[in-house]
Structure 1
Amino acid sequence: MKPMRFSPPLLLLFAALTLHGCALLPSAQFYQLEQGQAALPEGDKGPALLLGPLKLADYLQREQLVQREADDSLTLSQRTRWAGSLQDDIGQLLLRQLAGQLDTSRIALYPDRIGFDSQVQVVLNISRLDSGALQPAVLEAQWRLLDAAGVQRGSRVLRLQTAHGGSVADQVHAQSVLLRQLADELALAIKAMPVAERAPARKSAPAAPAKPPARSQRLPVLEPNPQLDVFRF
């Protein structure tokens, strides 16, 4: 059987149809969370804060935006995607909000804690953050506050919800609002938490002056008595 061959006009027609079909495919749209107008720290009077570990539910660790349907099922769209890591985006949003509300620039995002001595640590687990065209935006999370010694000083499980206009842009805006509300609650809890002041660096005691080496006392050398001659009679 001879292989099928196409004439140049047919090849050009096939290429044109392929390009036309690709042009009809909708292009992907990328979204980011809205950081909001977070105030910058001025007096830097707040505590040294470590944010994290921050854990997201497995179904949120993907590029596509998750859509929740009326029957509570989840769908993924290839057209709507996050412009980067959703977990990093959430971390940066909370970081900026907390820095402004607590008036502190001494803040770090876990695991970037090299050389960072924290007074307060926020451990956060987000088990749900989604919405749908006909479903409200919902945030479910659990947070814990730890002091400098690692002792738990506060904890809460929460559920936040807000309506939106239905479009994907409105849904992203609504989810951003819920995360900022979470930052508001965390800031209030941290302000009410007794924070131990960082102990000042201990000054090393001045070194004691070196004692002069003790003079060795020379013991007198006892010379053996000369042996006496013994005369016997």
Structure 2
Amino acid sequence: MMNVLRLPLIALLAGVLGLAGCSVHQPASLYQLDSGNPGQPKQSAGMAVLLGPVTLADYLQRETLLQRQADGSLSAATDGRWAGSLSSDIDQLLVRQLAWRLDSQRVVLPPATAGFAPDVQVLLSITRLDSGKNQPAILDAQWRLLDRRGQVRDSRMVHLEQKHDGSTADQVKAQGELLQQLSEQLTVALKPLANQPPLIEPRKPDPKPAPKQDVNRPKIPTASPIRTDMEVFRF
């Protein structure tokens, strides 16, 4: 009787251990955004651009790879996650894309080094970047461009969409392509600001010199009233 009861128990334990072994040997995949194939800038100098601060929506500041559902809700992907900081990944992708498209080695993230005087500062806010198995990849962003004097020269809201085949890998690729499209539009807006006039401090007017006196001209004595003690009587 003991032997008959022991067999189902052994089979049950073997099944549990087998399932545990499968879960251990199937780690989640790690993903990075597709930065395309940006080349190296050929110019040693070029346009000076300060890219940032770049702000992300709160829900994007995590390593979890989120999936957009048909009802608009978000759920964590079960087969993958971001390889590190998504915020840092976005920053580096945009820097490389802009440097290549502007052909400039002077595209930097804040804080800039001492003495760096940007021609343009890009204030960028990304409010949405996600996709789902049956939902396209979507990017919503807004930028403002400040010139050398700190004046707003351009402000724009952007909405971009990219289709994919539904797999997690292709979704990540589509999101990277959206950021490449964003950098392309930014480049078009930045290029006209490369020809700004140099900053010149307003020159104060020179003080007017005091009129010079002619030392050779004879001085004419001024008449002064003469007072007397005489009284005048009228009759």
When normalised by structure 1's length, the TM-score is: 0.74
**Alignment length, in residue pairs?**
188
Q: How does 1:137-148 map to 2 (within 5 A)?
A: 137-148=137-148
Amino acid paired to 1:23: G
In structure 1, what is the equivalent of residue 48 of structure 2?
48
Structure 1 residue runs of 5 or longer lacking an equivalent are 1-12, 201-233
Query: Is 2:27 the counterpart of 1:38?
Result: no
Shift of 1:35: 1.3
In structure 1, what is the equivalent of residue 175 of structure 2?
175
In structure 2, what is the equivalent of residue 152 of structure 1?
152
Is residue 47–residue 195 contact of structure 1 (8 Å, CA) maintained in 2? no
After superposition, the C-alpha distances for 1:102-128 in whole angstroms (9 at most, x for unaligned) are 111012112x31212211111100000
Structure-1 separation of matches of 2:36 and 2:181: 11
Shift of 1:24: 1.6
Q: How does 1:9-88 map to 2 (within 5 A)?
A: 20-25=18-23, 26-44=26-44, 46-88=46-88
Is residue 43–residue 105 contact of structure 2 (8 Å, CA) maintained in 1? no
In structure 2, what is the equivalent of residue 105 of structure 1?
105
Structure 2 residue runs of 5 or longer lacking an equivalent are 1-10, 201-235
Structure-1 separation of matches of 2:138 and 2:70: 14
Structure-1 separation of matches of 2:134 and 2:74: 13
Structure-1 separation of matches of 2:17 and 2:121: 54
RMSD over equivalenced CA pairs, Å = 2.3
After superposition, the C-alpha distances for 1:66-111 in whole angstroms (9 at most, x for unaligned) are 100111111112431100100110110110010011111012112x
Amino acid paired to 1:114: T
When normalised by structure 2's length, the TM-score is: 0.74
After superposition, the C-alpha distances for 1:5-61 in whole angstroms (9 at most, x for unaligned) are xxxxxxxx9997775443221311100011111121112453111100000101111
Is residue 41–residue 105 contact of structure 2 (8 Å, CA) maintained in 1? yes
Structure-2 separation of matches of 1:197 and 1:171: 44
| Greater mean deviation of Cα atoms: 41-50 or 150-159 | 41-50
Structure-1 separation of matches of 2:152 and 2:199: 20
| Greater mean deviation of Cα atoms: 41-50 or 54-63 | 41-50
Structure-2 separation of matches of 1:29 and 1:198: 50
Classify 1:33/1:76 alpha carbon distance in 2 versus 1 (closer, same or farther; 3 Å).
same
Structure-2 separation of matches of 1:42 and 1:198: 24
After superposition, the C-alpha distances for 1:167-201 in whole angstroms (9 at most, x for unaligned) are 0000001001100000000000001225436669x
Structure 1 counterpart SS, 2:126:
strand
Amino acid paired to 2:22: L
